[in-house]
C-alpha cells in the first residue's frame, strides 16, 4: 500500500470505501491515479466477522448518533437508528445480501412515464439504460453476479422452496434464486457459498462480493492506493476559485488532519454524504457545497419495504443458507391497474431469533408475539423492496440541537410515506400473504419496515443545475472537481436493490474522471 503526504495535492480523495467509494478507488488506481481513501470505520476481515446478530451489529453498524422525524414508524420504534448501514472498511457491502438487479428502462424516466404525481418530486435521470448497459455488464463481471457471464444460479434453500411453491401456484412466472453477487462456484480467488446463513453479518467464507476483500486489496496491489481506516471526515474545504482542495478528518486518536486533494469524491451513503456537504458550508457556499439548487439532503428515499413472515405446520429452518435466497420479479413492472406507479420485488429473507424478536413487530408484546417466536423453526420470510417516491420534504438536515463526539451537528432524517408508497406496500403485503397461503401457511404476519438499508437520492443527478446536485457523471453542477459516488446520486430509486447500480455508476465515473484529468479539465 502506498503512503501519501498530507500536502500532496495531486491525489484524489475518496470518502468512504463501500460499493461506491471502494469500487471507484480501485478503478482509479487501476488506471494509474493516486487515491487516498478515508474510511470512518475500522478494518475487519472474514476471520474477524462475528456470526452473532447483536455482536455483529456492534462491530459493523453505523451507530453514531442520528435523529429522526416524520410520520414513518421508524421515528417511533428506532428514533436514533434511521438506517441499518455500516461503519467499517467495505461499508455496507459487508452487510448487504448480494441481490444484483439492473434497473428497468422506464425507471430512468419516471417523470415521463409516471407523470406528475402530487407530493412527489419525480425527475428523469440524465442518462438512459442504453448508456449504462456496458457498465452494468462490467459490474456484473466484476462482482460475479449469478445468472450473468455464464455463472450458474445459487441453489435454493428451504425458505426459497416455499416462496417458489406459493408463487408458482399464484401464477407468477419469474421466480428463481436471483441474480446474486455470491459465488455459486469458485471465482476471482474466492470460494463458493457454504450456505452459512449470516449474510448480513459479514460473509465468513468470502463468497459474497464485498469491496473489503475484492476492490480494496486490488487497489492496494497497484501501489497507487492508501486506505486510512478510522478516519472520520468532518469538512471539505475549497480555494478562492471555489474548487475543493482539501478534506479535514479526525483519526482514531482524535487528532485532526488535513489531506490536500486535486479531486474529492464523496461516498458516505445517503445520510452522511449530504451531511458532509451541508457541514462544509463556507462564506462562498453559505448553504453547503454543491447546493445552489437547494436539493442537497432532499428527496431522501429508502425504498418501499416491509416483510411477510408465515408459519407452517412443518419445520422450515429458514436460517439455513443464504439470507436472500430467491426472488419473485413479476411485480417489478409498472402497471397502474394495481393502483400505484412503479413496482416491487419480493425476495426471501431470514432473521435469527435475536433479530426476529427485535424486528418482527417492534414494540409488540403479549401471547401472540410469543406464539410467533415459539414457531421460529416453522417460519418462512420474505422482504418487499419497491420504488418509493422522492419528496422534497423527505430530507437529511443538520440537527444543531444534538452534537456528535466531534462536536458536529448530527443528521436528522425526516420521512413521510407518499400515498403511492402506502398503496404499493398494501398490495405487496397482500401478494406476499397469498404466496404463503398458497404454500400452506397456517398464519401470516405483516412486519413493518426495518431501519433503512437502501438509502438513496439525497444528492440527486439532474440534467439541469437548478433541479439537482450532480450531473450524469456524478460531478457536482457547482464545483467541477467534486463528485458524489454513492447511492445519494440516484435521481429516483427504481424497484431494484441499489448496489449493482452504485457499482456501475462508480465504474463509469472512474472513466470520466480519468478522461477529465487527462484533458486537464479538472
Cα 410 from Cα 30, distance rounded (Å): 36
Q: Which residues pair with 308 in a beta bridge?
A: 382, 446
C-beta of 362 vs 409, nearer to other proteins: 362
Q: Which residues pair with 86 in a beta bridge?
A: 61
CB of 306 to other proteins, least distance (A): 20
Name the DSSP letter for residue 203. -
Told to check if 173 binds other proteins by CB under 8 A, we report no
Q: Is 245 helix (H, G, I), strand (E, B) or coil?
A: strand
Told to check if 175 binds other proteins by CB under 8 A, we report yes
Choose, by CB under 8 A, the member of 171, 255, 283, 365 that binds other proteins: 365
| Residues 275-294, interacting with other proteins (CB under 8 A) | none
C-beta of 323 vs 497, nearer to other proteins: 323
Told to check if 154 binds other proteins by CB under 8 A, we report yes
Q: Is 188 helix (H, G, I), strand (E, B) or coil?
A: coil
- What is each CA distance from 188 to 180, 184, 192, 213, 437, in whole angstroms? 15, 12, 10, 11, 41
C-beta of 185 vs 239, nearer to other proteins: 185
Closest CA to 144 of 198, 222, 208: 208
Cα 406 from Cα 40, distance rounded (Å): 13
Please, what sign has the CA dihedral across residues 282, 287, 289, 293? negative
Do the strands 12-15 and 263-266 form a parallel or antiparallel pair, or are they unpaired?
parallel
C-beta of 314 vs 519, nearer to other proteins: 314
Choose, by CB under 8 A, the member of 7, 366, 518, 520 that binds other proteins: 366
Told to check if 406 binds other proteins by CB under 8 A, we report no
Choose, by CB under 8 A, the member of 1, 63, 284, 373 that binds other proteins: 373
DSSP assignment string, 288-339: -TT-TTS-TT-S-B--EEEEEEEE-SS---TTSS-SS--EE-GGGS--GGGS
- What is each CA distance from 6 to 238, 240, 268, 475, in whole angstroms? 16, 20, 21, 24
Stretch that binds other proteins, among 67-75, 131-139, 194-202, 330-338 (CB under 8 A): 194-202
Choose, by CB under 8 A, the member of 192, 258, 338, 434 that binds other proteins: 192
Told to check if 408 binds other proteins by CB under 8 A, we report no
Choose, by CB under 8 A, the member of 72, 84, 135, 160 that binds other proteins: 160
CB of 315 to other proteins, least distance (A): 5
Choose, by CB under 8 A, the member of 30, 69, 234, 377 that binds other proteins: 377
Among all chains, which residue has been given the C-alpha cell 408463487? 167
Told to check if 386 binds other proteins by CB under 8 A, we report no
Told to check if 177 binds other proteins by CB under 8 A, we report yes
Considering only the C-alpha atoms of the chain, give the largest distance between any 2 of them, rounded to a whole number of Å. Answer: 70
Told to check if 116 binds other proteins by CB under 8 A, we report no
| Residue 117 · residue 341 · CB < 8 Å | yes
Told to check if 442 binds other proteins by CB under 8 A, we report no
Told to check if 158 binds other proteins by CB under 8 A, we report yes
Told to check if 162 binds other proteins by CB under 8 A, we report yes
CB of 178 to other proteins, least distance (A): 10
Stretch that binds other proteins, among 161-169, 383-391, 406-414, 448-456 (CB under 8 A): 161-169
Name the DSSP letter for residue 116. -
How much helix, strand and coil, in percent to the nearest 5, is found in the chain?
A: 30, 20, 50
Q: Summarize as ranges the residues that interact with other proteins (CB under 8 A).
A: 51-54, 152-158, 160-162, 164-165, 175-177, 184-186, 192-198, 204-205, 312, 314-317, 319-321, 326, 352-354, 356-358, 363, 365-367, 369-370, 373-374, 376-377, 439-440
Amino acid at each position: 500500500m502506498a503512503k501519501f503526504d498530507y500536502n500532496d495535492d495531486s491525489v484524489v480523495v475518496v470518502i468512504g470505501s463501500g460499493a461506491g467509494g471502494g469500487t471507484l478507488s480501485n478503478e482509479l488506481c487501476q488506471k494509474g491515479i493516486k487515491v487516498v481513501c478515508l474510511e470512518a470505520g475500522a478494518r475487519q476481515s472474514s476471520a474477524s466477522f462475528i456470526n452473532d446478530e447483536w455482536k455483529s451489529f456492534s462491530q459493523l453498524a453505523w451507530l453514531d448518533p442520528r435523529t429522526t422525524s416524520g410520520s414513518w414508524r421508524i421515528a417511533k420504534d428506532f428514533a436514533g437508528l434511521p438506517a441499518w448501514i455500516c461503519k467499517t472498511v467495505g461499508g455496507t457491502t459487508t452487510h448487504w445480501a448480494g441481490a444484483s438487479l439492473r434497473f428497468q428502462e422506464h425507471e430512468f424516466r419516471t417523470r415521463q412515464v409516471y407523470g406528475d404525481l402530487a407530493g412527489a418530486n419525480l425527475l428523469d435521470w440524465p442518462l438512459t439504460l442504453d448508456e449504462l448497459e456496458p457498465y452494468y455488464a462490467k459490474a456484473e463481471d466484476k462482482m460475479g453476479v449469478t445468472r450473468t457471464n455464464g455463472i450458474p444460479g445459487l441453489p435454493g434453500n428451504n425458505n426459497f422452496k416455499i416462496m417458489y411453491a406459493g408463487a408458482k401456484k399464484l401464477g407468477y412466472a419469474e421466480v428463481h434464486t436471483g441474480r446474486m453477487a455470491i459465488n455459486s462456484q469458485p471465482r476471482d480467488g474466492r470460494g463458493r457459498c457454504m450456505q452459512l446463513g449470516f449474510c448480513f453479518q459479514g460473509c465468513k467464507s468470502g463468497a459474497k462480493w464485498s469491496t473489503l476483500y475484492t476492490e480494496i486489496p486490488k487497489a492496494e496491489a497497484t501501489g497507487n492506493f492508501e486506505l486510512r481506516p478510522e478516519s472520520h471526515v468532518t469538512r471539505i474545504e475549497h480555494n478562492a476559485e471555489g474548487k475543493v482542495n482539501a478534506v479535514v478528518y479526525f483519526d482514531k486518536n482524535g487528532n485532526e488532519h488535513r489531506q490536500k486533494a486535486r479531486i474529492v469524491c464523496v461516498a458516505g451513503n445517503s445520510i452522511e454524504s449530504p451531511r458532509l456537504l451541508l457541514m462544509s458550508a463556507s462564506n462562498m457556499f453559505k448553504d453547503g457545497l454543491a447546493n445552489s439548487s437547494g436539493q442537497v439532503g432532499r428527496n431522501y428515499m429508502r425504498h418501499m419495504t416491509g416483510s411477510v413472515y408465515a408459519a407452517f405446520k412443518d419445520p422450515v429452518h429458514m436460517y439455513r443458507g443464504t439470507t436472500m435466497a430467491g426472488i419473485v420479479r413479476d411485480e417489478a413492472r409498472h402497471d397502474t391497474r394495481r393502483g400505484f406507479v412503479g413496482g416491487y420485488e419480493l425476495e426471501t429473507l431470514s432473521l435469527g431469533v435475536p433479530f426476529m424478536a427485535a424486528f418482527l413487530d417492534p414494540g409488540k408484546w403479549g401471547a401472540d408475539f410469543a406464539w410467533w417466536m415459539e414457531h421460529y423453526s416453522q417460519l418462512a420470510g420474505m422482504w418487499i423492496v419497491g420504488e418509493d417516491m422522492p419528496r422534497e420534504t423527505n430530507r437529511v438536515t443538520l440537527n444543531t440541537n444534538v452534537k456528535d463526539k466531534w462536536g458536529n451537528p448530527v443528521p436528522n432524517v425526516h420521512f413521510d410515506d407518499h400515498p403511492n408508497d402506502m398503496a404499493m406496500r398494501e398490495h405487496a403485503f397482500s401478494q406476499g400473504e397469498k404466496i404463503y397461503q398458497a404454500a400452506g401457511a397456517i398464519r401470516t404476519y405483516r412486519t413493518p419496515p426495518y431501519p433503512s438499508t437502501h438509502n438513496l437520492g439525497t444528492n440527486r443527478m439532474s440534467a439541469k443545475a437548478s433541479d439537482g446536485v450532480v450531473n450524469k457523471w456524478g460531478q457536482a453542477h457547482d464545483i467541477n472537481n467534486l463528485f458524489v459516488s454513492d447511492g445519494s446520486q440516484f435521481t429516483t430509486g427504481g424497484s431494484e436493490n441499489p448496489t449493482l447500480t452504485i457499482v456501475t455508476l462508480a465504474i463509469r465515473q472512474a472513466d470520466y474522471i480519468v478522461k477529465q484529468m487527462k484533458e486537464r479539465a479538472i
